[in-house]
Structures are given as structure tokens and as C-alpha cells.
Amino acid sequence: MMTLTDLAAEKVKDYLDGQGKSIEDAGLRVGVKGGGCSGFTYSLALDEQRDGDHVFETQGIKILVDDLSLRYVDQSEVDYIEGLTGAGFQVNNPNVVAACGCGSSFRVKDEEEGEVNCPSGAAL
């Protein structure tokens, strides 16, 4: 399961409206890619639902997660942060065991082997 904060939901709605998309047709895709100094990076985009997606609806917004990424972001909350260094979405992920100093990459513990593995299957 995934959720959005009130501000994040409002921003997703604003971005969808700005692109001429309705909340019935599109949502926020949350994915994970191998890379970054800690092992993984988040991928966030406005997108339409695809076959095999896990769909979580919160505050009228669809959160779309592919099957491979779900194990890394399950139980996460997406927030929208506005600060001195800029603004953007932030994933509050309880599965993270380490993150880099810049906050753009993270690492999770593999439940089965006790190692961290990339979504592509290559061990880190």
C-alpha cells in the first residue's frame, strides 16, 4: 500500500490539470531504478495505468506501482516538500536502511538473502 499527503495529492492534481489529464485517466507512477550512490533511486512521473500495475487510490489520486518496484516502496508515503533549496516530491519509505547524503538514492535490506539487490537482479 502507498499513500499521499494532502499537499502531495493537491500537487498531483495540479500537474495533471496542467497537462490536460483527468484523475480518472492518469495518476502518479512511483518506481525504483538501480543506481545512485546508495543503490536505488526513485522514479516519479505522471502516467496512465499499465497492465500488471498495482493501483492504490488515495484522496482521489491513483498511485501506480509496477510489480518489481512494489517490494521496495510498499508502505511508503509520498509528500511534497517546499524549502529554500527548491520544491518537489519526497518518498517517505519505511523500508530504507541507508540513504546517501544528497537524499536522492537509498538502500533496502533484501528479506531473503540479507543482501541488497537491484531491481534488475544484479547484486550491489
For the chain, the domains span: 3-108
Which amino acid is it at 48? E
- The superfamily in CATH containing domain 3-108 is HesB-like domain (2.60.300.12)
Q: For each of the chain's 124 residues, which pLDDT tens digit applies?
A: 999 999 999 999 999 999 999 888 899 999 988 766 656 788 999 999 999 999 999 999 999 999 999 988 999 999 999 988 889 998 888 877 655 555 555 556 663 344 444 444 433 3
* d(C-alpha 42, C-alpha 24), whole Å: 24
pTM above 0.85, yes or no: no
CB contact at 8 A, 42 and 78: no
